[in-house]
Amino acid sequence: QLQLQESGPGLVKPSETLSLTCTVSGGSISSSSYYWGWIRQPPGKGLEWITNIYYSGSIYYNPSLKSRVTIFADTSKNQLSLKLSSVTAADTAVYYCARLRRGITIFGLQPGGCFDPWGQGTLVTVSS
Amino acid sequence: QSALTQPPSASGSPGQSVTISCTGTSSDVGGSDYVSWYQQHPGKAPKLIIFEVSKRPSGVPDRFSGSKSGNTASLTVSGLQTEDEADYYCSSYGGSNNFVFGTGTKVTVL
């Protein structure tokens, strides 16, 4: 079945760039029905949507993070990458990648949907 | 976009029912058919349990049900079991290809 695995440095210094990779197995990120997303969760807090990407390049961002986020889909490696620049302690969180399963109606593929499945997540701590 | 509002906690005894609310606005919950719910056990990734307001993925017990009225969505867990003790998050499509999550509710089985 589809599996997602996040990886990257667990510790990043303030003002530097956080870089993470999500490796997808058991399915292709080039599938036409799905977007792929990143969501984060600060320790002891709730979930925050960061960004979604379609393999062909359409990208959508949380407006509050847009200026600092870069996302890329590498179809040759079946991987997604996330970069978050100018990090502060507030960016300390578990970062998850997930497949966005979009809704389908008689009018075609809809922008809304649900995240399923999720990777196990990776904790990134921002500290000097 | 602001987080959807959920009660911080809810509880019930085994076999009882618990209902969790998720309040947004007409721009997200009230205006979207794409409200979903996620269950998260400590140290684990969230798991989808309800999508498109009231649909259950394969393998999710029918004890879990979802509904929506106006700007508020609800998740009901009937016949509470000890394994239902977890954090629950709602999520909604918020328009303009944006998504928003709820503040989360910790469910305790007494």
A60-86 in b/e form (b: 16+ CB < 10 A) is: bbbeebeebbebebeeeebbbbbebee
Per-residue confidence band for B110, with pLDDT thresholds at 50, 70 and 90: very high
Confidence bin at A50 (pLDDT 50/70/90) = very high
Tell me which chain A residues have a C-beta less than 8 angstroms from the C-beta of B98: 49, 60, 62-63
Query: Given CA atoms A86, A90, A94, A99 in this order, what sign does their dihedral have?
Result: negative
Closest partner residue to A46 among B57, B89, B98, by Cβ?
Answer: B89
Residue type, A73: A
Look at residue A122 in the predicted model and tell me its pLDDT: 98
Does the beta-carbon distance from A46 to B57 stay under 8 Å? no
Distance CA B28, CA B79 (A): 30
Q: Is the pLDDT assigned to residue A67 strictly greater than 90? A: yes
Question: Which residue of A lies nearest to B6 if distances are taken between CA atoms?
Answer: A46
Residue B34 is nearest to which of A46, A96, A112, comparing CB atoms? A112
Of B33, B44, B101, the CB nearest to A112: B33
Give the H/E segment covering residue A112.
strand A108-118
CA distances from B40 to A53, A73, A109, B84, B105 (A): 24, 27, 28, 10, 10
Which residues of chain A neighbour B99 with C-beta distances below 8 Å? 37, 49, 52
Task: Give the integer Cα–Cα distance in Å for B39 and B107.
Answer: 10
CA distance B52 to chain A (A): 7
pLDDT above 90 as % of chain A: 85
3-state secondary structure of A73: strand
**Separation between Cα atoms, residue A102 and residue A125, nearest integer Å:** 31
What is the DSSP-derived secondary structure letter of residue A90?
Answer: G
The whole-angstrom distance between B48's CA and the closest CA on chain A is 6
Which tens digits make up the pLDDT trace of A9-22? Answer: 999 999 999 999 99
The label of the residue with tokens 């205006």 reads B31
Alpha carbon of residue A112 to chain centroid: 16
Is A111 close to B93, i.e. CB distance below 8 A?
yes
Interface test with chain B among A114, A116, A120, A122, by most B beta carbons within 10 Å: A114
pLDDT for A105 equals: 87
pLDDT digits 0-9 by tens, A76-125: 999 999 999 999 999 999 999 999 999 888 988 888 899 999 999 999 99
